[in-house]
Structure 1
Amino acid sequence: MNELTILTTLAVVHFVALMSPGPDFALVVQNATRYGRQTGLYIALGLSCGILLHSLLSLTGVSYLVHQQPTLFALLQLAGGSYLFYLGYGALKSTWAKVKHSAESEQASEQTSLLLSNKRQAFSRGFATNILNPKALVFFVSLMSSLVPAGMSLAGKGGALIILWGISLAWFSFLAWALSTSRMQKKITSLAIYVDGLCGVLFSVIGAGILWQSTTALAAQF
């Protein structure tokens, strides 16, 4: 298999994986619909940079070494699961506040909105959500080890990094743009509470599942 075929296969597999519902997808949907295009685009940039780092660590073998160390990988799972569960808790808390329509909750929601309108905050949340997701680490280790041969040229590996980062940025940016058009915003406004609730459940379930796996793995070692 020549390098062009390898890169094409890598791009297709990665793009299909990006479109599947998960924490990255949910984060863009939730924040682009709630805070608008700028926040959604910076979250997309953060997510794509997280993917770039995962790809680089996988190509250099660092992620593989982490995956082969049960205690270290379990600790990474613990951190990632806790962060995703925290995002889920925050989304569900916001949803419950909107249901109650209390003045205090509305004020807190406005403060959170202003905070997430900050570019650095949006970028950091996107980056952290991807890089702390242990499932992403496993995915890229599997992807790189199965599709990218050890003898691939430096130019080919560099091309792989650019492709994975570029496709990720393009897809998440498109998603953020599409969800923040004026027409879409009008349709989504009345559904915002359901979007928050659904994303909150998704984050919480995935986070709780990862936490269970990490605590079980750590308990088995000690």
Structure 2
Amino acid sequence: MNEFTILTTLALVHFVGLLSPGPDFALVVQNTSRYGRQIGLFIALGLSFGILLHSVFSLLGISYLIQQHPLLFLLLQILGGSYLLYLGWGALKASWKNRNVGKTQSVSEQPQLSSKRRAFSQGLATSILNPKALVFFVSLMSSLVPATMSLTGKGVALIILWSLALFWFSFLAWALSTPKMQRKVNTMTVYVDSLCGLLLTIIGVTILWQSFSTFSNIA
């Protein structure tokens, strides 16, 4: 395949991967519905830079080395699973608190993401600490980007992966924060928190379960 075909295929596969619901999707939906557009956009920016780092590490072979080193990969699984579980538990607690209060708290009463910097950091950490993302990008790069590809082609590949992620997550944040959608979302914040918290918790528990299974095999 020529480089144009490789890059087109890479973009399509990556975009399909972005469309599948996961911790990134849940994070954008929950925090945009709760804190508004700016926080959602900075979450999206953090997630996209996390994906850029995954892509760079995969091209350099760092991610492959981590995946092939059982203890390093186990550590990443434990950190990632624990962090997602923490986010999920936080969302479930917020949902339970709001259900008991009977109304949604205002943004000023919720300090979890009080700044754009914290929003960016949470998006970046969620992406970087997701072991499934590491495996996905190792597989994607190793199967679609040949070692003989030019530096220009690899640079374009990185730009494509980053820009598609930024576009998709920013679009989600924008769509969920339009005035009409925000009015609807405000009446369903408790349910959004519950669903996103449940999704993050399930993914976190699954990753931790897999890590403990891996540890048992190593031991």
User: Residue 70 of structure 2 corresponds to which residue in structure 1?
Assistant: 70
User: Residue 38 of structure 1 corresponds to which residue in structure 2?
Assistant: 38
Residue 15 of structure 1 pairs with residue 12 of structure 2: no
Question: Partner amino acid for 2:122?
Answer: R
User: Residue 58 of structure 2 corresponds to which residue in structure 1?
Assistant: 58
Residue 212 of structure 1 pairs with residue 201 of structure 2: no
Q: CA offset at residue 102 of structure 1?
A: 8.2
The one-character-per-residue Cα deviations of 1:44-64 (angstroms, maximum 9, x if unpaired) are 000000000000000010000
Q: How far apart are the structure 1 equivalents of 2:91 and 2:111?
A: 16
The 3-state SS of whatever aligns with 1:21 is coil
Q: How far apart are the structure 1 equivalents of 2:60 and 2:7?
A: 17
TM-score w.r.t. length of structure 2:
0.96
Question: Partner amino acid for 2:47?
Answer: L
Q: CA offset at residue 221 of structure 1?
A: 1.4
Aligned alpha-carbon RMSD (Å): 1.6
List 4+ stretches of structure 1 deviating above 3 A.
none
Aligned residues: 219
User: Residue 87 of structure 2 corresponds to which residue in structure 1?
Assistant: 87
Q: Per the alignment, do residues 165 and 152 of structure 1 end up closer, same or farther by CA in structure 2, a change over 3 Å counting?
A: same
The one-character-per-residue Cα deviations of 1:63-105 (angstroms, maximum 9, x if unpaired) are 00100011110111000000000000000011111111189x9
Q: CA offset at residue 115 of structure 1?
A: 4.3
Q: CA offset at residue 179 of structure 1?
A: 0.4
Is the 1:45–1:169 contact (alpha carbons within 8 Å) kept by the matching residues of 2? Answer: yes
Q: How far apart are the structure 2 equivalents of 1:29 and 1:213?
A: 26
Q: How far apart are the structure 2 equivalents of 1:141 and 1:212?
A: 22
1:108-119 correspondence to structure 2 within 5 Å: 110-111=108-109, 113-119=110-116
The 3-state SS of whatever aligns with 1:149 is coil
The one-character-per-residue Cα deviations of 1:170-202 (angstroms, maximum 9, x if unpaired) are 111111011001110011111111010000000
User: Residue 124 of structure 1 corresponds to which residue in structure 2?
Assistant: 121
Residue 161 of structure 1 pairs with residue 158 of structure 2: yes
Q: Per the alignment, do residues 118 and 83 of structure 1 end up closer, same or farther by CA in structure 2, a change over 3 Å counting?
A: same
Q: 1:173 aligns with which of 145, 170, 173?
A: 170
The one-character-per-residue Cα deviations of 1:134-172 (angstroms, maximum 9, x if unpaired) are 000000000000100011000000000000001110111
Q: CA offset at residue 114 of structure 1?
A: 3.9
* Percent of paired sites with the same residue: 65
Q: 2:138 aligns with which of 135, 138, 141?
A: 141
The 3-state SS of whatever aligns with 2:148 is coil
Q: Per the alignment, do residues 87 and 42 of structure 1 end up closer, same or farther by CA in structure 2, a change over 3 Å counting?
A: same
Q: How far apart are the structure 2 equivalents of 1:56 and 1:168?
A: 14
Question: Partner amino acid for 2:85?
Answer: F
Q: How far apart are the structure 2 equivalents of 1:102 and 1:95?
A: 10
Q: How far apart are the structure 2 equivalents of 1:24 and 1:207?
A: 12
- Structure 1: gaps spanning 5 or more residues: none
User: Residue 190 of structure 2 corresponds to which residue in structure 1?
Assistant: 193
TM-score w.r.t. length of structure 1:
0.95
Q: How far apart are the structure 2 equivalents of 1:102 and 1:37?
A: 24
Q: How far apart are the structure 1 equivalents of 2:218 and 2:112?
A: 40
Question: Partner amino acid for 1:164?
Answer: L
User: Residue 183 of structure 1 corresponds to which residue in structure 2?
Assistant: 180
